[in-house]
A and B are shown apart, each in its own frame.
Chain A
Amino acid sequence: MDLDASDADAAFRAEARAWLAAHVPATPLPSLETREGFAAHRDWERRLAADRWSVVSWPAEYGGRDASLFQWLIFEEEYYAAGAPGRVSQNGINLLAPTLFEHGTPEQRARVLGPMATGEVIWAQAWSEPEAGSDLASLRSTAVRTDGGWRLRGQKTWSSRAAFADRAFGLFRSEPGTPRPHQGLTYLMFPLDAPGVTVRPIGRLDGKPAFAELFLDEVFVPDADVIGEPGQGWRVAMSTAGNERGLTLRSPGRFTAAAERLTALWREAADPTDTALRDRVADAVIGARAYQLFTYANASRLAAGDGDAPGRAPSKVGDLGAASSLNKVFWSELDIALHETALDLLGPHGTLADDADEAPAHGSWADGYTFSLAGPLYAGTNEIQRNIIAERLLGLPKEARA
């Protein structure tokens, strides 16, 4: 058992650190949930991609560096330690790309991945519907067969990034009246500017249009944009859900970097006799370190099982199965506690919104706080995660369902 970086990993870290030091903008970009900020973040994706830092774990032929899982974790640590911008492409990179690597055709990979890696095409996810949230399989939007493709009809909601994104991916019911709701679903990609698509932005808690409702009225999608077999969409989608909750959505580097900044803030701002605040700062530091080490252990497990061996399927990067639910509950609660502590340390300035002139740290604490509040909700609510933990990891009986 060891925690020692190989020479190759140490060199990778040094190279990433040097590039980030030279390129990360000195002042943070405007919030990516605004039109101006979205454009600035898209531009940042292009700069990352120009030097092959946007998708390090992908194969070189798609713009990556064939980075191992450990190297990806190292990149993320360096990325957030450098204070680099949030990733406007994350829905595509973390959710759609792994699905394409596992279930897509060579033609789809060749066509979709390049523009995703450069930020030329930004993807939104289109899972939830007004009546299908935690019970996602009950979704009602339909895909009906037509010449050369499908016609989409229905309504999607809570579609992250959709207010300004280019394309979206999601599940549609292609076979009505199947015995079980998980059957007869098809995984499709579609343009957000296609005829029949209406995008209605939704203001999140601070009013910024971080997500949107999508109204789909006879939207044509060619067969080339179906991922996997028609009717098999649930199985295809679940392979990305494991990634989302697993390692790739919120890597430990975010939290170790935030805990460092919180500690610095505490040293500057805190009353040293306030032991209640001190304990919360320490808990954030301990929690971030615990998440980092837990992830190293999982990465070691995946590597030992050849999940991280050369030639592995990139879709399996960070796929932990049911254990990914432990991660999701842990980091989402850590994120909120950490940001609440920061706001308390900031006192009256902690009540300012991120775009206020006097907002501390260019509004990063306020923006991080607002963002953290959504953590227990998206990617499967924490209640659903706790059910998965209890049933699949602890072996408790399923609850009676309606």
Chain B
Amino acid sequence: MRFLLTAEQREFARTLDSLLGAAGTPAAVRAWAAGEHKPGRDLWARLAGTGVFALAVPEEHDGMGPLPVELAVAYVELGRHAVPGPLVETVAAAAFLHRLGDPDAAADWLPRIAAGDALVGLCVQDAPFALDADAADTVLVVRDDTVCHTETHGPVQPALDPARRLSRPLGGTVLARGPAVTAAARHATDLARLLTAAQALGLGRALLDGTVDYVKQRTQFGRPIGSFQAVKHRLADTLIGLEFAQPLVHAAALALAAEDPSAGTQAAAAKAAAGEACYAAARTALQLHGAVGYTDALDLSLWIRKARPLRDAWGTPAACRARVLAG
């Protein structure tokens, strides 16, 4: 047993971290929230250059996957930098189309997803809204055992995180029907849970790191507020939440990679833990920044607002807990 990321995996994470750090994601997030997708799509193109999306696509469709562990490593970094767009949905759609066994649909979409040219929405079962349908090239909608694809959607609904643009998918053309659809949707959901968890983990880390930096320099009563125990203990608890969520994410990625029967349970466990830890980190960040953390002028707000929707996307904590016990 060697339950540690390899040197290559860690290096891949560092590459993404520095690329995104230099790219200035906050401007792209703000533009995305205003419906201007170009800076976000440019960011996607640069990410595609590192091979992120190709990790979800098999070799026969110009990818190098599926590699769930490397995807999880990458999505931690995407979360850390709050990259906008249907990141999870696009690669989960790739997994769905690959599983579906429809060669035409796979050949149509998978090479474009691998290249970062296609943004794909994915709306599964009782999820009413599609994420970023206004930016997506197509949206796959799974209802019961039927999957449609559609390029039309209702008006974008203002959301608590304005960078997550939600709308109802409309109409659509049936792509496939039957048990293969349900099975592919289940698999896509497991992968989506894993990668949402990974994103939440990265987002939570960024919130914690930023808050630790802030409390070291913010002075009240003549000393840094980070020297007060009430502040320290809250940050310690925030770290504990994230530290113990991380191995659940890694183990779920391994289970998906091995197509282990427990992959669904493990992805749900990772999602519940990472989602809650990330949201707790957001609450900590907001509290310890004080009133300035409650403003949208600070880029911190982009991270804070993203935490709760990530916690709830692809299965609320309650839904994930139920899945854990369903076995």
Chain B 189-233 interface mask (CB, 8 Å, partner A; 1/0) = 000000000000000000000001001100000011011110111
Is the C-beta of A387 less than 8 angstroms from some C-beta in chain B? yes
Residues of B within 8 A of A394 (CB): 212, 232, 235-236, 239
A285 touches B325 (CB 8 A): yes
Q: Contact check: which of B1, B224, B235, B236 meets A296 at CB < 8 Å?
A: B1
Quick one: closest B residue to A394, CB to CB? B212
Complex CA–CA separation, A401 to B9 (angstroms): 43
Q: Contact check: which of A291, A389, A397 meets B226 at CB < 8 Å?
A: A397
B3 touches A293 (CB 8 A): yes
Q: Contact check: which of B215, B236, B251, B324 meets A329 at CB < 8 Å?
A: B236
Residues of B within 8 A of A383 (CB): 229, 233
Q: Contact check: which of B5, B236, B246, B324 meets A390 at CB < 8 Å?
A: B236
Chain A 243-274 interface mask (CB, 8 Å, partner B; 1/0) = 00000000000000000000100100000000
Is the C-beta of B147 less than 8 angstroms from some C-beta in chain A? no
Residues of A within 8 A of B228 (CB): 399
**Given A5-B1, A396-B232, A294 and B243 touching (CB < 8 A)?**
yes
Residues of A within 8 A of B227 (CB): 396-400
A290 touches B248 (CB 8 A): yes
Residues of B within 8 A of A395 (CB): 212, 216
A286 touches B272 (CB 8 A): yes
Residues of B within 8 A of A279 (CB): 317-318, 321
Quick one: closest A residue to B213, CB to CB? A395
Is the C-beta of A393 less than 8 angstroms from some C-beta in chain B? yes
Quick one: closest B residue to A6, CB to CB? B1
Is the C-beta of B240 less than 8 angstroms from some C-beta in chain A? yes
B3 touches A330 (CB 8 A): no
A399 touches B216 (CB 8 A): no
**Given A394-B239, A395-B216, A275 and B318 touching (CB < 8 A)?**
yes
Complex CA–CA separation, A4 to B254 (angstroms): 10
Is the C-beta of A282 less than 8 angstroms from some C-beta in chain B? yes
Q: Contact check: which of A286, A387, A400 meets B324 at CB < 8 Å?
A: A286
Least CB distance from A67 to B in Å reads 14
A-B contact count (CB 8 A): 147
Quick one: closest A residue to B69, CB to CB? A1
Complex CA–CA separation, A385 to B239 (angstroms): 12
A1 touches B226 (CB 8 A): no
* Chain A residues touching B, majority SS: helix
Residues of B within 8 A of A301 (CB): 4
Complex CA–CA separation, A399 to B221 (angstroms): 13
Is the C-beta of B273 less than 8 angstroms from some C-beta in chain A? yes
B243 touches A326 (CB 8 A): yes
Residues of A within 8 A of B248 (CB): 286, 289-290, 293
A293 touches B324 (CB 8 A): no
Is the C-beta of A103 less than 8 angstroms from some C-beta in chain B? no
Residues of A within 8 A of B9 (CB): 1
Complex CA–CA separation, A275 to B273 (angstroms): 17
Residues in B22-70 with C-beta less than 8 Å from chain A: 69
Residues in B142-184 with C-beta less than 8 Å from chain A: none
Complex CA–CA separation, A397 to B212 (angstroms): 11
A1 touches B321 (CB 8 A): no
Complex CA–CA separation, A10 to B162 (angstroms): 51
Is the C-beta of B245 less than 8 angstroms from some C-beta in chain A? yes
Complex CA–CA separation, A385 to B227 (angstroms): 15
Is the C-beta of A287 less than 8 angstroms from some C-beta in chain B? yes
Residues of B within 8 A of A300 (CB): 1-4
A291 touches B244 (CB 8 A): yes
Residues of A within 8 A of B102 (CB): none
B244 touches A282 (CB 8 A): no
B232 touches A387 (CB 8 A): yes
**Given A3-B1, A397-B216, A278 and B243 touching (CB < 8 A)?**
no
A1 touches B6 (CB 8 A): yes
Residues of B within 8 A of A282 (CB): 272, 321-322, 324-325
**Given A1-B69, A386-B232, A389-B240, A286 and B1 touching (CB < 8 A)?**
no
Residues of A within 8 A of B244 (CB): 287, 290-291, 294, 326, 330
Quick one: closest B residue to A289, CB to CB? B269
Q: Contact check: which of A70, A287, A291, A389 meets B1 at CB < 8 Å?
A: A70
Closest 7 CB pairs of A and B: A282-B321, A293-B247, A390-B232, A389-B236, A386-B236, A290-B244, A396-B226
> 17 A-B pairs, CB-CB below 8 angstroms?
A1-B69, A2-B254, A3-B1, A3-B254, A281-B325, A286-B321, A294-B247, A304-B2, A304-B4, A386-B229, A390-B236, A393-B236, A394-B232, A396-B212, A396-B216, A396-B224, A400-B227
